[in-house]
């Protein structure tokens, strides 16, 4: 806490942010993710391609068991072995990407988890909360533990820190 993080990766150079909260603590009360970024990376999200050039920014132990693919996306690395992502260009076109987090929600979540707080937190938490409609659809249409039911939707929920294995 109190540290300044300076980012130098493929998508950001010289961006700095302060850590004002303890790692993994003091979240907004309505933001209650099921999974930590470390757990998500170990389970398999974003085809393993999302965080391959960000290792200097985040704790080394996040990468110990992370399923990463340095060359290209590999959906077989995803927990449910399906593609549940849209290209970054789609997210940019919809206006969901802000300059402070050019990779989107998961990058925001990683930085929030580390202790960064910004005015964009409210917007990102609202986006996370909106995923509850998918939680409801999985719960309504699938038998608990039947991972063959709605695998794309389950994988998408993992991308948003909802543990769809428990639905």
Residue 160: what pLDDT?
A: 97
What angle do the packed helices 121-130 and 105-114 form, to 10 degrees?
A: 120
148-165: average pLDDT: 96
DSSP secondary structure code for residue 100 in this structure: T
Residue 17 φ then ψ, to 5°: -150, 145
Q: Over the stretch 2-50, which tens digit does the pLDDT of each residue have? A: 699 999 998 999 999 999 999 999 999 999 999 999 999 999 999 998 8
Max CA pair span of the chain: 48
Task: Tell me the torsion sign for CA atoms 80, 81, 84, 87.
Answer: positive
- Cα-based angle 146, 151, 153 (whole degrees, multiple of 5): 115
pLDDT tops 70 at residue 1: no
Alpha carbon of 10 to those of 46, 72, 124: distances in Å? 17, 14, 23
pTM: 0.94
93-97: average pLDDT: 83
Tokens 């063959």 identify what position? 148
Strand ranges for 19-105 from DSSP E: none
Q: Over the stretch 118-151, which tens digit does the pLDDT of each residue have? A: 999 999 999 999 999 999 999 999 999 999 999 9
């Amino acid at each position: 806490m109190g540290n300044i993080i300076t980012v130098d990766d493929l998508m950001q150079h010289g961006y700095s942010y302060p850590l004002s909260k303890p790692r993994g603590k003091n979240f907004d009360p309505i933001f209650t993710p099921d999974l930590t970024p470390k757990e998500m990376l170990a389970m398999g999200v974003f085809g393993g391609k999302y965080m391959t050039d960000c290792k200097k920014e985040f704790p080394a132990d996040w990468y110990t068991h992370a399923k990463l693919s340095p060359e290209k996306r590999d959906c077989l690395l995803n927990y449910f072995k399906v593609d549940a992502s849209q290209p970054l260009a789609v997210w940019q076109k919809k206006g969901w990407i802000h300059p402070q987090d050019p990779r989107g929600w998961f990058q925001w979540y990683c930085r929030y988890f580390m202790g960064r707080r910004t005015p964009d937190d409210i917007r990102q938490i609202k986006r996370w909360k909106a995923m509850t409609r998918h939680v409801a659809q999985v719960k309504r249409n699938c038998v608990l533990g039947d991972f063959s039911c709605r695998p794309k939707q389950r994988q998408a929920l993992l991308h948003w820190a909802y543990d769809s294995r428990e639905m």
